[in-house]
Structure 1
Amino acid sequence: METVINRFVLLNPPSVFEGILFFLLLILVLYGSFRSTKHLAGSKKRATLISLHLLSFLLIIFILFNPGFKVEHYKEEKRNLAVLVDSTWSMNLPGDRDGNVRTEKVKNYLEQNNDFLSQMEKNFYVEYFFFDQELKPTSLDSILKNEPLGTKTKIGKVLEELIDKKNKGGLDVAIIISDGADNDGSTNMYDRLKGIDLIINTVSPVTVDSMNDVWIDDIISSEVAFLRYPFSIEVVIKTSRPENFKIPVTLYKEDKLMSIKEASINPESKEARVKFEINPLSLGRKIYTVYIPVLSEELITENNQKSFFTDVIINKIRVLHVAGSPSWDVKFLRKALKRNPNIDLVSFFILRDPSDLVFASERELSLIPFPVNEIFSKELDTFDVVIFQNFHFQPYGIFGFHLKNLKDYVSKDGGAFLMIGGSNSFNSGDYGRTLISDILPVELDYLPTTLSETISNQEFHPELTAIGKNHPITRIVPNKDENERHWKKMPELEGLNIVQGLNQSAMSLLKTPDGQPILAIENVDFGKVAAFMSDSSWKWNFVLGSEGNVSPHYEKFWNRLLLWFLNDPELKDIRVKTDKPIYNPGENAKIEISTLGDDLNNQKALPLLIYPNGMENEIELEKTSYNRLIGKVQVGGSGIHKISVNPGTDSSLYNDLNVSETIFIVEPPENEVRGPTANNNILQSLAERTGGKYITTDDRLENLKIDTSKKKTITGYKTMRFWDNPLTFVVLLGLLSSEWLLRRRWGLK
C-alpha cells in the first residue's frame, strides 16, 4: 500500500549561527526602518513603509533558505522484530527458589506464549537469534531444543550487532531473553545506545530478588610441577552474603581425599583465601578438585567445586645408592648412573665393615660416617629411588624403625626401592626377618640360612619371560623381534640369589633357564619395587661397548628401570594425548594416539573415553600416518574424564603398563558460574534507556512495549522549490518597487 504526503521543507535550513545572524539583521532592518520614517507625517504611512520594508527583507531571507514542497511516496510494510535468546552456560543454572533451570523456564515460557509469537509473526518480519559472544541466526524450533553451551556472555558486543542491523534498516524492535550475566567487562555498553531509535524489551528467567551464593572464585596454581618437590596452591573463595562465617575447604586428588582446611570469610571483602601444599609423587598429568559445601538457601551449586591440573615432570631423578662392598657390579652401575645427566646420585660406598679388625684410628679410616638417622629418618622422602646393592643393614646401625621408614616410603609415600643381589642381599642379608620382606617382589626365608643355601655360583644365560618380551624395562631395542635377538646375545651371568619364589602380584621379566627369577618387579600400594637377583650384570657392559665406555644396552636397561619406577610416560608403547587439559561441556576434544616405531596396523589399540560416572564410549579415529591416529569426541558433563588405550596385549600379564591413559577436566566456563551469574539490573537499564519494557518469565509477553503499526518506507519523492515559480520573483519585485514609489511620493529618500 502506497501513500502520498505533501509537506513544506527548507532545502537550505539555517544553522544556529546563521539563525542568530539573521535575527540580528532583522533587528537592524527594523531599527533602520523606524529611523528613516520618523519624519514622515501620519502613522499609517509610516506603518505602510515599515511593513513593506520588513516583508521585502523576510522574503529575501525566505528565498535564501530555499523553501519548497516535498511530495513523498511511502510504502507501508511490516516492521522487523528480533528475538534474542541467551545460549550461554549460565542459562543451565537455577532461576528460582524451586531450582527450575533458566533455559527450561525460557522454553516453557515461549511455548506458553506461542499464540503471541504467532501473532507477532503475522505483524512483523520476525528473526530468531541465539547469542553468547555474537548473534547466531536460528529458529523457534531450535530454541526449544537447544542446550546452552556458550562460554562467555558479551551483551555489549550483541548490542553493537543490533545497532548495525538497525542502521541498515533491518531492525525496528528487539526482545532479549537473558539472565543478564554479562561478563564482557564493557564499561560503555549504554553509550552505544545514544542516538539510536531502537526499542529493546528484555525478559529474565531469574525470578528471585537476590541470590545468596558462596563460590570458588579462583585457584592460583602452577601448571607444571617437579616430582617430589612440594608446591603450593591458593584457593580464593567469595560470597554474596554480608555476614562473617567459616566454611570447610576440601582438596581431592581425583577421588582421593588430600586435605581439609577451614576458611574464614571477611565480611568487608566477602572473601577468604586458603593455601594447600601438594607433594607430587608420580609423573604425568594430575587433576585436583577443591570442594566447599552448599549452604542453606544457596541456589547455585555448580560453583562450589573447581578442578585444576598440574603436569608433573622430572627435574632430576634423585637416587640414593648404598653399596655394601667394592665390586665390578657396583663400579659399572655407579658409572652408568653418573653418566645420566638427569640423575642426581647420592652414593654411599661402604669400604669396610664396622666389625673388621683394623690397626688405625677411625679418623684415618673413614671418609665420612654413614648418616643412618639423617637418611632413613629425615631425608628419605627427598629421594625418588633407593638402591641397596649387596648391602647388609645390621652392621651399620640400621634398626627396625629405619627399615619401617623405608617400607612406608614405598607403600605410603610412593617411593621406589631396588635391591641388587650379592652375598649381603636378600636371604643372605637376613632381610627375610625384616619389614623390607613385605615390600620385596620375591619371597624370602624368615629363618637364617647358610650362604650355600642362599646363593648359587653357577653360570646361566638370562631369558626373557613372556611378560619380559613386552615390558618396556627390557625393551632395549624398539623392535620386539630384534629386542629378543639382542637379549639372546647377552653374556651369561654368574651367581644368583636364591629365593622362595615370587609374590602373588609380582612379575618376573628375566629368568634362568630353569625358571628362577632374575629380575622381578611389583607395585606396592603407592610405590614400586624391583629385585635383581645377581651381582654380575656388569658383564652386559661389554656388549657393543667401546673401550672405556658404557655399553648402550647395559645403560639403557638400568635407565629404563629407573624410568619405570617413576611411571614415566616415555616408556609407553602407545601414547595418547589431547589438545588441551580443560574443556567445557559439549566441546569436542581432539585425540592423538601414536606408537614408538611400530605400525599401528600391528596394534589392536582400542581407545575408550571413560566418563566420570564410569560409562565408556569407544572413540573413532582416523589414521594419518603409519604410527599416528587422530580423532575427536564430544565430551559430556562436568568431571574428570579419562582416555584409555589398550595396546592389545594380555592385560593380565602386566596391569601397570598395558594401558596408556590421559585425563582431562570438563567443567562449566568459569566466567559463566563465577558468582550468582544473574544481573537483572542490566536488563532493566537496557529497557528503560531504549523505551522498552523489562519483565520476567512470570509475566506475559503481551506486557512488552511493541508497536504493531506498520512502518512507512519512502519509495520516492519530488521537490518543488518556491524560487522555481516566477510569481515569487514578481512578489519580491512588487514589494521593493511599491516601497520605493511610496517613499518618493511621500518625500523620503
Structure 2
Amino acid sequence: MAREIIFDPMFPLWLVATLAVVALALCLFAALRGLPGWWLRAASVVALTLALLNPSLQTEEREPLSDILLVAVDESASQALSDRAAQSAEALEALLAEAERAGLDTRLTRVGDGEGDEGTLVMTALAELLAEVPRDRVAGAVVVSDGQVHDADLAPDLPAPLHLLRTGRGDDWDRRLIVSNAPAFAILDEEVSITLRIEDQGNVPADLPDEAEIVISIDGGQPRAYVIPTGEDLQLPLTLAHGGLNVIEFTVPEAEGELTTRNNAAVVQINGVRDRLRVLLVSGEPHPGQRTWRNLLKADSSVDLVHFTILRPPGKQDGVPVTELSLIAFPTRELFFDKIDEFDLIIFDRYQRRGILPSIYLENVRSYVERGGALLVAAGPDFATADSIFRSPLAPILPGSPTAIVLEDGFTPAISEIGEKHPVTTGLPDDYGLDGAPWGRWFRQVQLAALPETEVVMTGLEDEPLLLLDRVKAGRVALLGSDHVWLWDRGYEGGGPQAELLRRLAHWLMGEPELEEEALTASAVGQEVTVTRRTLGDAPEEVTVTAPDGTIQVLPLEEEAPGRFTARFVGEMQGLYRLEQGEQTAVIGLGPAAPREFVETIATGAPLAEAVAARRGGSLALEDGMPDLRAVSEGRAASGRGWIGWTPREAYLTADVRVQSLVPAWLFLLLAAGLATWAWLREGRT
C-alpha cells in the first residue's frame, strides 16, 4: 500500500493561480499602506486558494510483480564441439534453479544456426525476447554460449546487466583451412590462382609441426597430396580441365586433439568458360547455304572464324591466270599442319577432293580428331560422288558412308527415337512451321549407311539417317546428310530451329558438359539439391548420395523427359556431397567454402566484451564452475569472482486507488471567512 497527497483543482489551475496572485498583490498593497489587518487578509487568500486546489490523500493498493531474467542459450553448430553442449545443459539447469530461489521469472530462448551462412544470431534473439516482456521488469540477461556470436554489434539496449557464461576449455585448439581468394569463373587452358592458408588457433601444442598436408581433388577424381607450411598464404596455380562447373575440394587431415574437422575442408566451385572459340570452316564450291554458315559463326563475337573456301576449282578453264586470282596465297600448311590443334572445331561444308588439300593434310585432320578435336561434315551431292571426302584419309572417322544415291524430294526433318533422348536434339522448339507442321521442309538428302555404333539423332526422307553423331577415340564427329539446312535460316515454310540445332551440335562436338548424353549432374538452390541423370539407355538405377559426414542415402530416379531422370533431396549440412549411379559420378558443394560457424571455433568472450562491459556485466568461464546469482543495486558492478548479479526492479501492479479530501471544503470556507472578519474588525478599531 502507498499513500501520497495530490491536488485536484476545482477550476483550471491557471485561473486559480491568477486569482491567488491578484489577491496577494492587493494584500501587499495593503501592507504598503500600513493597514493593520493585511496579514489576516493574506491568510484568508491562502485558505481560499487551498480550498480551490482541493488537497486530497491518494491511497494505492499494489501487487508486487516478479523481476524477469532473460536467458539466451546458444545451440549453434559450434556448441556441439567437445563437451560444450553438456556444459550448456548443466549451466542452464543451475541458472534456472538459482533464479527460482531468487524469485525471478525467467524467459528462455534457444538460438540455432542462422539461415544460410548468417552464423549465430544471439543478440537478435535477445532483442526479440526483450520486446516480448515489460521493460521495467527486466532485471538482467544471461547468454550461455562459446562467445562466437556474429551479431554482437546488434546488442539490445538492456535496462539491466548482461552476462556471458562461456562454454569451452582453456586447452582447446583447432586447425582450419581458409580459402581467401577463389574466382567464380575461369578461362579454360588459362592458369588461375587460389589463395589457401592452414591456420592453427587456440592453445596449440608446443610439439605440433609447423607444416601440414593438404589433399586436393577435382570433380571427385584422384586426390593429390601436398605438404605446405601452416600460418602462411599459399598461391595455388590451377588450370581447369573442362568447361562448365568444376568442383574442387581441399582437405586437411585431422590432427590429434583438434576440436573439429568440419573446418578442415573447403569446396570451391569454378565455372570454366572458353575465352574464344576458334573455328575453321572449309567450304567447297559456292552454294546458297555457304553464307548461312558464315553468318551464323560470325554473329557470335566469341568465335574466331577462319574461312577456307574454293572459289575456282583447278579444273575450271576461263583464261584467267592463277597468279591473278588471289592477292595472297592461303596458308594451308600453317592451318592444317602447324596450328591445327589451336582450333576448337573444324567444319567441312560441301567439300570434295580436288587436289587443293593433299592427303597428308586430311590425315592430319583425322589425327587432330583422334587426339580430342571436333569435326562437323555438312554433306551435299558431292559426298555421294567419287571425289567425296569419304574416299580420303577421313573415312575411318566418319560416322556414316554414302550409298552414291542423292534423294531429291520434299521432306520434314524429324527427331529419331534416340534423338528424343539426346541433348543435341531433345526439346528443340517446334513453333516454326506453317499449317500445323512442326518445321519447314528440305529438298535434298544424301543417302547414308550409318555405322553400328553411330547415334542417328535425326532422320529425313523415308526415315533415312540425316544427322549422325559419333565419338572417335578422344574426339567427336558429326555428319549432316543434307546441304538444305539454310532453308530454315531463310524461313522457308516457317523455317526451323537452325541456330539452336547448330549451336547445340557445335557445343556437343567441343565436349561441353551440359550436352553430354551420358551424365550425372547436380544443382542446388539453397540446401535443396536436384540430381539429373541423362542417358540414352533404359531407366537407370537409384542414385547413391554420400553426405559430408559419410552418411549414405539412396534416391530413386523419376523420368522427367525422354532420357532425363531426376531426384531431389535436402542437404542437412554444408560441405561436399558425392553422387554415384553406376559408372557415373558427380560432386556438389553446399554452403560457402568455409562455413561461418566453423571459421572461429575457440571459445572466447571477445565478440561480446564491449556489450557486456557497457551493461556492467561479466564474462565467466563455465569450466571454473557455475557462478552464484546475487541481487545488486542499479548502477553498481554486477559481476565478480564466482558470481553474477541482477538488479531488483520493484515493479508492481496497481490493484485499487482511493482518493479522500484532507480538509472539508466548508472548513476552508469557514476559516477564510473568519480571517477576513477578523481583519475587518481590526481595521475598524483604528
Question: TM-score, normalization: structure 2?
Answer: 0.61
> How far apart, CA to CA, are the structure 2 residues paired with 1:675 and 1:706?
27
Q: Contact 1:476–1:557 at 8 Å: present in 2 too?
A: no
Q: CA deviation at 1:288?
A: 3.3
Structure 2 regions of 5+ residues with no counterpart? 5-56, 533-538, 559-566, 630-641, 660-686
The answer to whether residue 87 in structure 2 is matched with residue 126 in structure 1 is no
The answer to whether residue 392 in structure 2 is matched with residue 429 in structure 1 is yes
Aligned pair partner of 2:456 in 508, 528, 534? 508
Q: 1:350–1:641: structure 2 CA closer, same or farther, 3 Å change rule?
A: farther
Match of 1:637 in 2: 573
Q: Contact 1:207–1:698 at 8 Å: present in 2 too?
A: no
> How far apart, CA to CA, are the structure 2 residues paired with 1:569 and 1:245?
41
Match of 2:220 in 1: 255
The answer to whether residue 634 in structure 2 is matched with residue 690 in structure 1 is no
Aligned pair partner of 2:178 in 208, 211, 216? 216
One-letter amino acid of the counterpart of residue 263, structure 2: N
Match of 2:604 in 1: 679
One-letter amino acid of the counterpart of residue 622, structure 2: T
One-letter amino acid of the counterpart of residue 571, structure 2: V
Q: Deviations over 1:298-356 (max 9, x none)?
A: 32322222223345567765422234x43538735634534643543222336799999
Q: 1:116–1:553: structure 2 CA closer, same or farther, 3 Å change rule?
A: closer
One-letter amino acid of the counterpart of residue 458, structure 1: I
Q: Deviations over 1:551-571 (max 9, x none)?
A: 656555434422444677998
The answer to whether residue 59 in structure 2 is matched with residue 86 in structure 1 is no
Match of 2:287 in 1: 328
Q: CA deviation at 1:179?
A: 1.1
Aligned pair partner of 1:615 in 541, 553, 558? 553
Q: Deviations over 1:709-731 (max 9, x none)?
A: 98643567999xxxxxxxxxxxx
Aligned pair partner of 1:490 in 432, 439, 442? 442
One-letter amino acid of the counterpart of residue 106, structure 1: S
Q: Contact 2:98–2:628 at 8 Å: present in 1 too?
A: no
One-letter amino acid of the counterpart of residue 486, structure 2: N
Q: CA deviation at 1:172?
A: 1.4
Q: Contact 1:608–1:643 at 8 Å: present in 2 too?
A: yes
Q: 1:234–1:353: structure 2 CA closer, same or farther, 3 Å change rule?
A: farther
Q: CA deviation at 1:216?
A: 1.2
Q: CA deviation at 1:272?
A: 0.5
Q: 1:609–1:233: structure 2 CA closer, same or farther, 3 Å change rule?
A: farther
Match of 2:88 in 1: 106
Aligned pair partner of 2:376 in 418, 426, 429? 418
Q: Deviations over 1:39-97 (max 9, x none)?
A: xxxxxxxxxxxxxxxxxxxxxxxxxxxxxx999987555332222111434334x23xx
Q: Deviations over 1:222-275 (max 9, x none)?
A: 3x456x46362422425136999444555444313587766444xxxx330323
Q: 1:680–1:546: structure 2 CA closer, same or farther, 3 Å change rule?
A: closer
> How far apart, CA to CA, are the structure 2 residues paired with 1:82 and 1:713?
16
Q: Contact 1:468–1:510 at 8 Å: present in 2 too?
A: yes
Higher helix share: 1
Aligned-CA RMSD value: 6.1
The answer to whether residue 308 in structure 2 is matched with residue 341 in structure 1 is no
The answer to whether residue 357 in structure 2 is matched with residue 409 in structure 1 is no
- Residue correspondence of structure 1 range 638-717 to structure 2 within 5 A: 638-640=574-576, 665-666=590-591, 670-676=595-601, 678-681=603-606, 690-692=616-618, 694-696=620-622, 699-700=625-626, 705=643, 712-713=650-651
Q: 1:475–1:6: structure 2 CA closer, same or farther, 3 Å change rule?
A: closer
- Residue correspondence of structure 1 range 42-191 to structure 2 within 5 A: 76-92=64-80, 94-95=81-82, 100=83, 102-103=84-85, 106-107=88-89, 109=90, 114=93, 117=96, 120-121=99-100, 123-131=103-111, 151-154=118-121, 168-184=135-151, 186=153
> How far apart, CA to CA, are the structure 1 residues paired with 2:273 and 2:220?
22
- Residue correspondence of structure 1 range 526-605 to structure 2 within 5 A: 528-532=476-480, 534=481, 537-542=482-487, 545=490, 552=496, 557-565=501-509, 583=526, 589=528
- 3-state DSSP of counterpart to 2:300: coil
- Residue correspondence of structure 1 range 275-424 to structure 2 within 5 A: 275-279=236-240, 281-283=242-244, 285-311=245-271, 317-323=277-283, 325-326=284-285, 328=287, 331=290, 334-338=293-297, 340-341=299-300, 343-349=303-309, 367-370=328-331, 372=333, 380-381=341-342, 383-389=343-349, 390=351, 395=358, 397-398=360-361, 403-410=366-373, 416-421=374-379, 422=383
Match of 1:205 in 2: 167
Q: Contact 1:166–1:198 at 8 Å: present in 2 too?
A: no
Q: 1:424–1:79: structure 2 CA closer, same or farther, 3 Å change rule?
A: farther
Q: 1:684–1:397: structure 2 CA closer, same or farther, 3 Å change rule?
A: same
Q: Contact 2:64–2:653 at 8 Å: present in 1 too?
A: no
One-letter amino acid of the counterpart of residue 530, structure 1: A
> How far apart, CA to CA, are the structure 2 residues paired with 1:614 and 1:715?
59
Q: Contact 1:638–1:668 at 8 Å: present in 2 too?
A: no
**Identity in percent:** 16
- 3-state DSSP of counterpart to 2:137: coil
> How far apart, CA to CA, are the structure 2 residues paired with 1:476 and 1:74?
78
Match of 1:456 in 2: 403
Q: 1:592–1:610: structure 2 CA closer, same or farther, 3 Å change rule?
A: closer
Q: Deviations over 1:15-59 (max 9, x none)?
A: xxxxxxxxxxxxxxxxxxxxxxxxxxxxxxxxxxxxxxxxxxxxx
Structure 1 regions of 5+ residues with no counterpart? 8-68, 135-147, 411-415, 443-453, 594-603, 621-630, 645-650, 720-749
Q: Contact 1:151–1:669 at 8 Å: present in 2 too?
A: no
One-letter amino acid of the counterpart of residue 345, structure 1: L
> How far apart, CA to CA, are the structure 2 residues paired with 1:609 and 1:424?
53
Aligned pair partner of 1:468 in 419, 434, 459? 419
Q: 1:386–1:640: structure 2 CA closer, same or farther, 3 Å change rule?
A: farther
> How far apart, CA to CA, are the structure 2 residues paired with 1:513 and 1:681?
78
Q: 1:540–1:282: structure 2 CA closer, same or farther, 3 Å change rule?
A: same
Q: 1:375–1:299: structure 2 CA closer, same or farther, 3 Å change rule?
A: farther
- 3-state DSSP of counterpart to 2:296: helix
The answer to whether residue 208 in structure 2 is matched with residue 272 in structure 1 is no
Moved more, 670-679 or 330-339: 330-339
- 3-state DSSP of counterpart to 2:370: helix
- 3-state DSSP of counterpart to 1:380: helix
One-letter amino acid of the counterpart of residue 326, structure 1: E
Q: CA deviation at 1:638?
A: 2.6
Q: Contact 2:372–2:473 at 8 Å: present in 1 too?
A: no
- 3-state DSSP of counterpart to 1:302: coil
One-letter amino acid of the counterpart of residue 468, structure 1: G
Q: In the comparison of the two structures, how many residue pairs are matched?
A: 563
Q: CA deviation at 1:281?
A: 3.1
Q: Deviations over 1:152-184 (max 9, x none)?
A: 235565676677789812321333111111334
Q: Contact 2:447–2:465 at 8 Å: present in 1 too?
A: no
Q: Contact 2:179–2:594 at 8 Å: present in 1 too?
A: no
One-letter amino acid of the counterpart of residue 296, structure 2: L
One-letter amino acid of the counterpart of residue 232, structure 2: E
Q: Contact 1:428–1:455 at 8 Å: present in 2 too?
A: no
One-letter amino acid of the counterpart of residue 215, structure 1: L
Q: CA deviation at 1:636?
A: 2.1
Q: CA deviation at 1:425?
A: 6.0
One-letter amino acid of the counterpart of residue 88, structure 2: V
> How far apart, CA to CA, are the structure 2 residues paired with 1:236 and 1:539?
55
> How far apart, CA to CA, are the structure 1 residues paired with 2:71 and 2:525?
33
Q: CA deviation at 1:467?
A: 2.0
> How far apart, CA to CA, are the structure 2 residues paired with 1:6 and 1:553?
92
> How far apart, CA to CA, are the structure 2 residues paired with 1:557 and 1:684?
63
> How far apart, CA to CA, are the structure 1 residues paired with 2:405 and 2:504?
27
- Residue correspondence of structure 1 range 12-27 to structure 2 within 5 A: none
Q: 1:427–1:245: structure 2 CA closer, same or farther, 3 Å change rule?
A: farther
> How far apart, CA to CA, are the structure 1 residues paired with 2:494 and 2:237?
44
